[in-house]
């Protein structure tokens, strides 16, 4: 048989060989660092037997898929350590993930001290150097095997496998786990790992299931790589909006108010006001008309839209349909309300497109396990809009919505951090959607063509569409790697029919319009979280809740400092005065900790000559300027929404 390697060279063998044996034949060094193999594009275990012509790539920890095998093996070592120290713990699942691995257990919560003990035990297991041996069992024997070990979650996993599935296990000495692999040849090949944290996690991600304990960890081939990653994690902790946003007094939460109901504090509100005014002004420039609609509606409205059938569990319902004459629900979206704004007067083809925009407060009954800081909450505000258009206008208006979204991202400095997704319906589960298959396929192709025409790179996600139409989701990851949708633009060729929306065409006939559901910047709270993490609190000046702090070097110059502050405020600059009886060095440090972009130090010389001494996070000591010059400079920076490079803080 002929084995074609990654570099194009060919190895010939008379008999079948394992991937590991082929790696050993290439070089002992390669065999030592091999983690898995890739045969004709499929990742396989090193123990996999190759018995015919193929293309083979030997994967090491330098390859993403090879590193995944190393991390998966480390998760098995963690599971063995847990069973050694906590014999009554039950095993669930332990996959590799982008940042490392995790393993879920039915057990008491794990403390940091517990994780340290588990790390020590894992090091002992690795030192013992057990070989990992793969074996398979028939379905009933596999079930009996795990039942005898008292592992109910493994039994459930086996029962859920297809009837023709091969059920494989890995034995590493005294520990055996149900697993498809691939794995390293021995535990001694694990060189560098760390247990990061633990948290609760529902079995199979469903709140109706048991709450398990999840341990997160990571592993690398080299200690230097692990050290660099741990340093990265420390930076992440500094950027975590849930921590930094509270420290900066942008928002807080209170148990008696409720989970997912954050309190925006004055500084946070100021930032959201800045964003909201900018968005509303920008939308007006682009032809949007503003609406203001109720925060709740009768269930009748949601029954017309289809939300009552498809989304009721995600809504806050007020009343009981069995007892009450009228049942209301807090709105999870604004679209049906704006449809009735459209329907309030008859429209002709000349009136379209109608672009409606609203800064909408919405309510969604998120699962308690999903909520986090400002990124996923139960009440939030969104830059929502709906465009009612003629079919022949749909493509250009959809492009206009994408252009607005890209403008917002670029202005905020976030464009490089996002990915674009065509969220499609799942044709295998048609009952989740309204409309005919040909409508879905046609609209999805329109969006695909638009993205290609605009040279926007995108991926296609099956099953992520709303129940009434496909969409473009613009996603970003938080500092921990979790991806959320930031902006959505949706093609809807169906709901106009449900709401009997029409326009009069040039022939005097009634025609159904199309609808674009879109956000320009998305959810304000989620965007604030994103900005906190992106800039580690060092926001562009135009977004800062405090843009200038005036620092008199002693109480004698407080009056001059107050006059400067008044002049700044007259020009729309957010400024404060630090009149405390503290040394100027202390005041400067405090202003830096508060992440204020500009400090104006004033003393005798500045007062006599009408100057200010400027210190900034951008250039440090910028020297003395006249107050009018400084005001001109900062107002221009704010007006143009400039994102300056930070050179003196990190």
What DSSP character marks residue 457?
Answer: -
Collapsing DSSP states into helix, strand and coil, what is residue 112?
A: helix
Tell the residue number behind the tokens 């990653």, with chain if given: 229
**What percent of the residues of the chain are helix, what percent strand, and what percent coil, each to the nearest 5?**
40, 30, 30
Is position 517 annotated in a ligand binding site? yes
* Burial environment of residue 240 by CB neighbours within 10 A (0 to 12, 13 to 18, 19 or more): buried
Residue 29's CB is within 10 A of a number of other CB atoms, namely: 10
Collapsing DSSP states into helix, strand and coil, what is residue 204?
A: helix
Number of residues in the chain: 650
What DSSP character marks residue 646?
Answer: P
Alpha carbons 131 and 152: distance in angstroms, whole number: 26
Alpha carbons 307 and 314: distance in angstroms, whole number: 9
Largest CA distance in the chain: 95
Alpha carbons 195 and 630: distance in angstroms, whole number: 50
* Burial environment of residue 441 by CB neighbours within 10 A (0 to 12, 13 to 18, 19 or more): middle
Residue in 345, 147, 115, 326 with CA at minimum distance from that of residue 213: 115
Alpha carbons 389 and 337: distance in angstroms, whole number: 17
Collapsing DSSP states into helix, strand and coil, what is residue 82?
A: helix
Cβ neighbours for 170, distance < 8 A, ≥ 6 positions apart? 76, 132, 133, 134, 176, 177, 179, 181, 183
Q: What is the 3-state secondary structure (H, E, C) of 268-323?
A: HHHHHHHHHHHHHHHHHHCCCEECCCCCEEEHHHHHHHCHHHHCHHHCCEECCCCC
Collapsing DSSP states into helix, strand and coil, what is residue 214?
A: strand
Residue in 414, 369, 373 with CA at minimum distance from that of residue 241: 373
What DSSP character marks residue 529?
Answer: H
* Burial environment of residue 387 by CB neighbours within 10 A (0 to 12, 13 to 18, 19 or more): buried
Collapsing DSSP states into helix, strand and coil, what is residue 446?
A: helix
Residue in 550, 638, 529, 645 with CA at minimum distance from that of residue 596: 550
Is position 130 annotated in a ligand binding site? no
- As annotated, the binding site for Zn(2+) includes 335, 386, 517
């Amino acid at each position: 048989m002929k084995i074609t390697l990654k570099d194009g060279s060919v190895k010939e063998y008379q008999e079948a060989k394992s991937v590991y044996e082929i790696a050993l034949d290439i070089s002992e060094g390669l065999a030592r660092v091999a983690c898995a193999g890739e045969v004709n594009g499929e990742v396989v275990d090193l123990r996999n037997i190759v018995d015919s012509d193929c293309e083979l790539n030997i994967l090491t920890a330098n390859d993403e898929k090879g590193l995944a095998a190393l991390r998966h093996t480390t998760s098995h070592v963690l599971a063995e350590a847990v069973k050694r120290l906590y014999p009554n713990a039950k095993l669930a699942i332990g996959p590799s993930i982008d940042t490392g691995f995790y393993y879920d257990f039915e057990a008491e919560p794990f403390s940091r001290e517990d994780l340290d003990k588990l790390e020590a035990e894992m090091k002992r297991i690795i030192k013992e150097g057990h070989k990992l041996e793969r074996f398979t069992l028939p379905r009933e024997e596999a079930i009996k095997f795990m039942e005898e070990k008292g592992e109910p979650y493994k039994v459930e996993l086996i029962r859920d496998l297809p009837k023709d599935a091969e059920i494989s296990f890995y034995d590493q000495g005294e520990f055996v786990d149900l697993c498809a692999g691939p794995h390293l040849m021995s535990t001694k090949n694990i060189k560098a790992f760390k247990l990061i944290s633990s948290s609760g996690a529902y079995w199979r991600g469903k709140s109706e299931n048991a709450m398990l304990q999840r341990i997160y960890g990571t592993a690398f081939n080299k200690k230097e790589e692990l050290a660099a990653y741990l340093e990265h994690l420390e930076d992440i902790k500094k950027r975590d909006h849930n921590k930094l946003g509270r420290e900066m007094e942008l928002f807080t939460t209170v148990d008696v108010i409720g989970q997912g109901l954050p309190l925006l504090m004055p500084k946070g509100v100021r930032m959201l006001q800045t964003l909201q005014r900018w968005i509303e002004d920008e939308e007006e420039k682009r032809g949007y008309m503003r609406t203001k609609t109720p925060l709740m509606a009768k269930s009748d409205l949601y029954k017309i839209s289809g939300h009552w059938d498809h989304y009721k569990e995600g809504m806050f319902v007020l009343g009981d349909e069995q007892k009450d004459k009228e049942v209301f629900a807090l709105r999870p979206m604004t679209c049906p309300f704006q449809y009735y704004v459209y329907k309030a007067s008859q429209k002709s083809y000349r009136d379209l497109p109608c672009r409606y925009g609203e800064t909408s407060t919405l309510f969604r009954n998120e699962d308690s396990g999903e909520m986090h800081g400002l990124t996923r909450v139960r009440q939030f505000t969104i830059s929502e809009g709906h465009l009612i258009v003629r079919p022949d206008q749909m493509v250009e208006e959809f492009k206009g919505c994408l252009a607005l979204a890209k403008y917002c991202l670029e202005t905020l400095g976030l464009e490089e951090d996002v990915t674009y997704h065509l969220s499609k319906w799942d044709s295998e589960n048609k009952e989740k959607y309204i409309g005919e298959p040909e409508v879905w396929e046609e609209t999805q192709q329109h969006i695909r063509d638009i993205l290609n025409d605009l040279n926007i790179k995108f991926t296609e996600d099956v099953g992520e569409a709303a129940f009434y139409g496909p969409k473009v989701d613009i996603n970003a990851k938080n500092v921990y790697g979790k991806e959320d949708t930031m902006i959505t633009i949706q093609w809807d060729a169906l709901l106009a029919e449900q709401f009997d929306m029409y326009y009069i065409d040039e022939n005097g006939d009634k025609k159904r319009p199309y609808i674009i559901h879109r956000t320009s910047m998305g959810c304000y709270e989620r965007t604030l979280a994103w900005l906190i993490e992106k800039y580690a609190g060092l926001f562009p000046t135009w977004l800062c809740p405090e843009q200038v702090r005036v620092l008199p070097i002693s109480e004698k110059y407080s009056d001059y400092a107050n006059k400067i502050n008044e002049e700044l405020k007259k020009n729309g600059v957010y400024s404060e005065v630090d009149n405390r009886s503290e040394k100027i060095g202390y005041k400067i440090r405090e202003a830096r900790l508060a992440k204020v972009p500009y400090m104006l130090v004033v003393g005798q010389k500045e007062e006599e000559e009408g100057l200010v001494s400027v210190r900034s996070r951008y250039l440090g000591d910028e020297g003395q300027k006249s107050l009018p010059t400084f005001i001109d400079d900062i107002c221009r920076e704010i007006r143009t929404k400039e994102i300056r490079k930070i050179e003196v803080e990190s």
